[in-house]
Structure 1
Amino acid sequence: MRLIVNEVRDNVKQSFNLPGDKSIAHRSLIIGSLAKGRYKIENFPMGLDCLATLDCVRKLGVNAEMKENTIFVNSPGYEGFNKYPGILDAKNSGTTVRLMSGVLAGCGIKASFIGDESLSRRPMKRIINPLEKMGAKIKSCEGLLPLKFEENSKLKDINYQMPVASAQVKSCLLIAGFLGEGETVIKEQSPTRDHSERMFKYISASINKEDNIIKIKNSELKCKDIYVPGDISTAAFLIATAIISNNCELVLENVLLNPGRKNYIDILKDMGANIEVYIKEKVNEEEIGIIKVKSSNIHGITISSERIPNIIDEIPILSVISAFAKGTTVFEEVDELKYKESNRIEAIIDNLKAFGVKSQHINSNLIIYGDNDYIDAEVTVNPKKDHRIALSFLAMAAKNKGKTYIENFECTEISFPEAIDYFKCFYDLYTEQ
């Protein structure tokens, strides 16, 4: 499917509630269903990644009935999971396969994990190696999917120093550690998203965090209802469009405001963006609130390598914003972007070039040369079947007075199937097959 942006609107004044946050949604099913009993999940997003997790937990014997965007869960608990679920399909979802791998290994489940072409190229040794040290039996294709889990006895605890900053790897090991013997200790070089720690704490697991050290051990869990706040990563695309558009004001309600997830907002503020954040309350250990943003004049900055792990998913959209900043923006040490749904470094550079924007990848750094303004041309975006690239360059269409064509826009169904409904306030949009 090709999306065509035909006309850009100025003076947009809009308020939104967003679909549920994907990271919370995955964990609401994977970690939430470790407890035996009934609970409900409200504001569950309809993206294909989260639906892949829903299919997988159902294969483990979790009864999950969906009514609109609420899921009513009746779980047998981890001790009652189906030990022979057969083949589990993660489709495009790295979160699904990595977190669920902790469940399979921790419960000694015999199963195989497969995924789509993109996921099948993503590295899995980073979870295989520590899980095998704990006693899991896993076969892979040179560290790639498919993964074959054999039955294993109860896992041993592990004291593990994270070699890379990855919330998915950390979460996998926390789940496996909770299901194993003794106390598992995870040490991070730099902090990553802590949704798993918060979800475990919410359902009464024995988990403690001090600085960059997390300790977890088996304990009794409690079923609790979960509300999935609005997706702060999805918010980034709408925020960016408002910032680079003319005379726009945007209000986003009930958005997740986890400190580790709003780092890109701090970066936007450092760049001079007119953006305000208001925390309203805490739900299932997560802060939620309101984001207000207005069109802004911004300037380039250098984003240090220490900040990169917590904005890794937002680098494509920050790159788009940087193109219209005064001066140059540098993202340090971003080679991890090569191993996402696409090689995002190549995708960013190639599509910026299509808009006439210069960028470079030098010594692991991504450099965006700003001082660009409106163009008036027909531009075709190739997102390389990557949802974040497609959505980032949909935002960039705000700076094109001509038509912008985004190929394979159906890839956004992975994370934001409602995207066209939200962006139509900014643009005249239509699709063609």
Structure 2
Amino acid sequence: MDICIYGSKKNWDISLTIPGDKSIGHRSLIIGCIPKGKYKIENFSFSKDCLTTLEIIKKLGVIVIEKIVDNNRVLYVDSPGYTNFNKDIGTVNCNNSGTTIRLISGLLCGANIKAILVGDDSLQNRPMKRIIEPLTLMNGHIESKNGKLPLLINKNDGLKGIEYNMTVPSAQVKSSILIAGFLASEKTIVTEFHKTRNHTEKLFKYLNANININNNKISIENSNIESKDIFVPGDPSSAAFLIGATILSEKSKMKLNNVLLNDGRLKYVDILKRMGANISINKTGFLNEELIGDIYVESSNLNGVTVKSDEIPNIIDEIPILSVLAAFAKGNTLFENVEELKYKECDRVEAIIENLQNMGIESTIDGKYNLKIKPIDNLIEKNIEIDSYNDHRIALAFLVAAIKNHGKTIIKNYECTDISFPKSLNYFKDVLKIEKM
């Protein structure tokens, strides 16, 4: 499905509640089902990625039933516990979800389950050595096609704990090791040189696992954990696009309710504040160890900034929308060392540069993978076609960019946004003039 945007609606003031966070949605199933017991998941993200995880969990023998409670979709989970999972689940399709395949690999190796993991064309090109190597060190048995899919996971003689220094700043890789480490004999210690999002650590702590965090070192070992109900806060990565739309619009305000306020997920808000964005946060409390609250944002004039390389891991999903906002700031913006963007659903560096250039905005990448964006001084008034590259964050970022175009902006294959933000157009209907093609 292609869409056509005709610019923004002006002077709006709205309050929205956004879908549950995708990262916590995955973990609420993968980690939540490890102990034997029953629990419920509220505000689950029914994105394609999280539904992929849900289907694999069912193959393990976990019963998941959806019920409507007070007009909300609630998942009721009944797990037999990891020792009673089905021991051979055959071929399972992880579709487009990097989080699914990396976290589920840790679970399958730790629970000693045989499986073949496959995925779509995009996932087949994403690097898997980063999980194969540590899981193999733990005595996991994984075969691959030169570090790419499919992954053949075979039964092992039981995992052993390891001490592992992270070679890439990746929450997915760290989580895979921690999940396997929880199911292994002896203690596993993971050391990060750049901190990444810590939802796995928080959820294990919430379930009363023996896990300890000391600065950049995380240790975990097998212990008794219990099933507990989980509430999934609103997704801050989805919120970023609505925040961006408000910033670029004229005389407009937005309130986003019950959003996840995890420090590792709000670095982009800090960067926007450095750029001059009018954003404030009201913290309302904790749910399953995660801080939640409301975000308020207003139309703002931004200035260009330099985003340092040590900030990149915690804004990796928000660089596309930050790049769009930088394109309409005052002064150049530089993102240092964004090479990891090459290994997402598409080469996001290429996608950002090409689509900004289609809008008449200069952006370049140098040999150190520093991304530089030179902003445009005026509104755009031409018909533009955006290639989403079937990447949900590229499509959503350039949906926001269309606010600054007084011509038509066509986004190809917009349905790819269902991967992370299903029915996203419903949330932008008061903001943009949109037509499905």
Q: Say yes or no: TM over 0.5.
A: yes
Amino acid of the structure 2 residue aligned with 1:246 = E
Does the 8 Å CA contact 1:33/1:62 hold for their aligned counterparts?
yes
Does the 8 Å CA contact 1:205/1:220 hold for their aligned counterparts?
yes
* 1:99 matches 2:111: no
Name the CA distance, whole Å, in 2 between partners of 1:326 and 1:405.
26
Name the CA distance, whole Å, in 1 between partners of 2:364 and 2:426.
34
* 1:243 matches 2:247: yes
1:7-62 CA deviation, whole Å, 9 max, x = no partner? 42110111100000000000000000001100000001111000000001000011
Name the CA distance, whole Å, in 1 between partners of 2:107 and 2:185.
14
- Candidates 405, 408, 425, aligned match of 1:403: 408
Aligned to 1:313: 317
Aligned-partner SS, 2:265: coil
- Candidates 292, 310, 324, aligned match of 1:288: 292
Query: In the TM superposition, what is the alpha-carbon distance from 1:371 to its structure 2 partner?
Result: 4.1
Name the CA distance, whole Å, in 2 between partners of 1:119 and 1:226.
29
Structure 1 unaligned spans of 5+: none
Aligned-partner SS, 1:313: coil
1:68-97 CA deviation, whole Å, 9 max, x = no partner? 521100001111111111111110000000
Does the 8 Å CA contact 1:323/1:372 hold for their aligned counterparts?
no
Name the CA distance, whole Å, in 2 between partners of 1:176 and 1:74.
21
Name the CA distance, whole Å, in 2 between partners of 1:7 and 1:127.
43
Aligned to 1:59: 59
Query: In the TM superposition, what is the alpha-carbon distance from 1:318 to its structure 2 partner?
Result: 0.2
Amino acid of the structure 1 residue aligned with 2:384 = V
Name the CA distance, whole Å, in 2 between partners of 1:55 and 1:372.
48
Does the 8 Å CA contact 1:327/1:371 hold for their aligned counterparts?
no
Aligned-partner SS, 1:85: strand
Does the 8 Å CA contact 2:64/2:78 hold for their aligned counterparts?
yes
1:292-333 CA deviation, whole Å, 9 max, x = no partner? 000001100000001000001100000000001100000001
Aligned to 2:8: 8
Aligned-partner SS, 1:405: strand
Q: How many residues align?
A: 432
- Candidates 414, 419, 422, aligned match of 1:417: 422
Name the CA distance, whole Å, in 1 between partners of 2:278 and 2:376.
18
Amino acid of the structure 1 residue aligned with 2:187 = E
Structural mapping, 1:352-363, within 5 Å:
352-362=356-366, 363=368
Name the CA distance, whole Å, in 1 between partners of 2:332 and 2:106.
42
With normalisation by structure 2, the TM-score equals 0.98
Aligned to 1:372: 377
- Candidates 254, 260, 268, aligned match of 1:256: 260
Aligned to 1:50: 50
Structural mapping, 1:93-132, within 5 Å:
93-132=97-136
In percent, how many aligned pairs have the same letter? 52
Name the CA distance, whole Å, in 2 between partners of 1:116 and 1:16.
33
Query: In the TM superposition, what is the alpha-carbon distance from 1:372 to its structure 2 partner?
Result: 3.0
- Candidates 185, 189, 192, aligned match of 1:185: 189
Name the CA distance, whole Å, in 2 between partners of 1:286 and 1:258.
6
Name the CA distance, whole Å, in 2 between partners of 1:372 and 1:276.
27
Aligned-partner SS, 2:256: strand
Name the CA distance, whole Å, in 2 between partners of 1:202 and 1:430.
44
Structure 2 unaligned spans of 5+: none
Query: In the TM superposition, what is the alpha-carbon distance from 1:6 to its structure 2 partner?
Result: 2.5
Does the 8 Å CA contact 1:271/1:298 hold for their aligned counterparts?
yes
Amino acid of the structure 2 residue aligned with 1:418 = K
Name the CA distance, whole Å, in 2 between partners of 1:153 and 1:56.
23
Amino acid of the structure 2 residue aligned with 1:193 = R
Name the CA distance, whole Å, in 2 between partners of 1:105 and 1:126.
15
Amino acid of the structure 1 residue aligned with 2:401 = M
Name the CA distance, whole Å, in 1 between partners of 2:29 and 2:234.
17
Aligned to 1:154: 158
Amino acid of the structure 2 residue aligned with 1:253 = N
Relative distance call for 1:349 and 1:211 in structure 2 (3 A) is same
Aligned-CA RMSD value:
0.7
Name the CA distance, whole Å, in 2 between partners of 1:51 and 1:347.
26
Aligned-partner SS, 1:260: helix
Superposition misfits of 4+ residues, deviation over 4 angstroms: none
Name the CA distance, whole Å, in 2 between partners of 1:364 and 1:420.
33
Name the CA distance, whole Å, in 2 between partners of 1:39 and 1:8.
43
Does the 8 Å CA contact 1:324/1:370 hold for their aligned counterparts?
yes
Name the CA distance, whole Å, in 1 between partners of 2:7 and 2:218.
50
Does the 8 Å CA contact 1:357/1:372 hold for their aligned counterparts?
no
1:254-310 CA deviation, whole Å, 9 max, x = no partner? 000000000000000010000001110000000000000000011000000010000
Amino acid of the structure 2 residue aligned with 1:248 = S
Name the CA distance, whole Å, in 2 between partners of 1:372 and 1:117.
39
Aligned-partner SS, 1:33: coil
Aligned-partner SS, 1:32: coil
Name the CA distance, whole Å, in 2 between partners of 1:431 and 1:417.
15
Name the CA distance, whole Å, in 1 between partners of 2:361 and 2:433.
24
Structural mapping, 1:67-78, within 5 Å:
67-68=67-68, 69-78=73-82
Structural mapping, 1:186-265, within 5 Å:
186-265=190-269
